């Protein structure tokens, strides 16, 4: 039986070998939720599955939509209907205007956007047929506004935010809920190459996972934190660009970011 804190019996998590999603998988499993952990085959995925009897590894490449559909079907056949699908596969590549890594940009867009879309395609039809389910998509606060050195990652997360908004509108009345998870900087290997001085209000993976799981059972449209960064970037997004660009430059100079 799942802990009463979590209303899901079976959760499917993509990007499960990553720091945040791996931490969420462990916390759900500790509460009795059956967790299907998906990522490309790796020692990290194997170690995650070995850490709990409630976690089962279902290796797959999120960039292969047919393989991901087959993976979701296998999860449901072995563990039961997927109540929660957390689509969290992602990557970060620094963006340097003096030495643009075009291939890194394309890889970032593919994993962060196509990986999410393929996950939706794999799990949503069955949820719609049942008339119930919960999609959780991992975005980022930095998808709300351009940020120096963040051209590829920010662009990919802006696409994810737009996709989530569109899905939310279309899912009304279907019984399927959608939650967009937008954290700020989290101290993970994903952004280890990012200048530590530029990580605003950085948090640990444990705190990030805890904050997500505190709110996710209520099925809100968005979980966004930390509040200081969320407020600033959402304000920037809604300002005229003649005002937002100077504001970002001022903020960067004032904070040393």
* Tokens found for residue 69: 């559909």
- Within 10 A of 67 (CB to CB), how many other CB atoms are there? 15
**Helix count and strand count (H, E) for the chain:** 9, 7
- Least Cα distance to 144 among 231, 33, 203 occurs for 231
DSSP codes, 233-244: HHHHHHS-HHHH
Rounded to an integer, what distance in angstroms lies between the CA atom of residue 128 and that of residue 18? 28
Distance from C-alpha of 106 to C-alpha of 4, rounded to nearest angstrom: 42
Cβ atoms of 181 and 84 within 8 Å: the answer is: no
Question: φ, ψ for residue 27 (rounded to 5)?
Answer: -70, -40
Task: Quote the crossing angle between the two packed helices 19-30 and 43-50, to the nearest 10°.
Answer: 20
Q: Is 153 known to be catalytic?
A: yes
> 139 Cβ partners below 8 Å, 6+ apart?
157, 160, 161, 164, 180, 181, 182
Contact present, 54 and 29 (Cβ < 8 Å): yes
Lookup result for tokens 């970032």: 108
Which of 6, 144, 153, 221 is the catalytic position? 153
The catalytic residues are 153
């Amino acid at each position: 039986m799942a802990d009463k804190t979590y209303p899901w019996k079976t959760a499917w998590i993509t990007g499960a070998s990553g720091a945040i999603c791996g931490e969420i998988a462990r916390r759900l499993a500790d509460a009795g939720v059956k967790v299907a952990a998906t990522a490309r085959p790796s020692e990290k995925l194997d170690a995650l599955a070995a850490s709990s009897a409630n976690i089962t590894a279902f290796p797959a490449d999120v960039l292969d939509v047919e393989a991901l559909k087959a993976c979701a079907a296998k999860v449901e056949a072995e563990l039961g209907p997927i109540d929660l699908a957390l689509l969290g596969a992602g990557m970060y590549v620094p963006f340097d205007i003096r030495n643009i890594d075009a291939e890194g940009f394309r890889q970032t867009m593919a994993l962060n956007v196509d990986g999410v879309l393929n996950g939706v395609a794999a799990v949503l039809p069955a949820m719609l047929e049942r008339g119930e389910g919960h999609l959780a998509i991992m975005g980022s606060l930095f998808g709300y506004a351009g940020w120096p050195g963040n051209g590829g990652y920010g662009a990919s997360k802006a696409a994810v935010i737009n996709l989530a908004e569109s899905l939310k509108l279309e899912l009304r009345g279907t019984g399927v809920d959608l939650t967009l998870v937008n954290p700020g900087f989290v101290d993970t290997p994903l952004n280890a190459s990012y200048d530590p001085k530029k990580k605003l209000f950085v948090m640990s993976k444990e705190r990030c996972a805890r904050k997500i799981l505190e709110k996710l059972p209520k099925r809100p449209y968005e979980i966004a934190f930390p509040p200081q960064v969320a407020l600033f970037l959402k304000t920037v997004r809604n300002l005229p660009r003649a005002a937002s660009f100077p504001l970002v430059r001022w903020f960067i100079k004032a904070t040393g970011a």
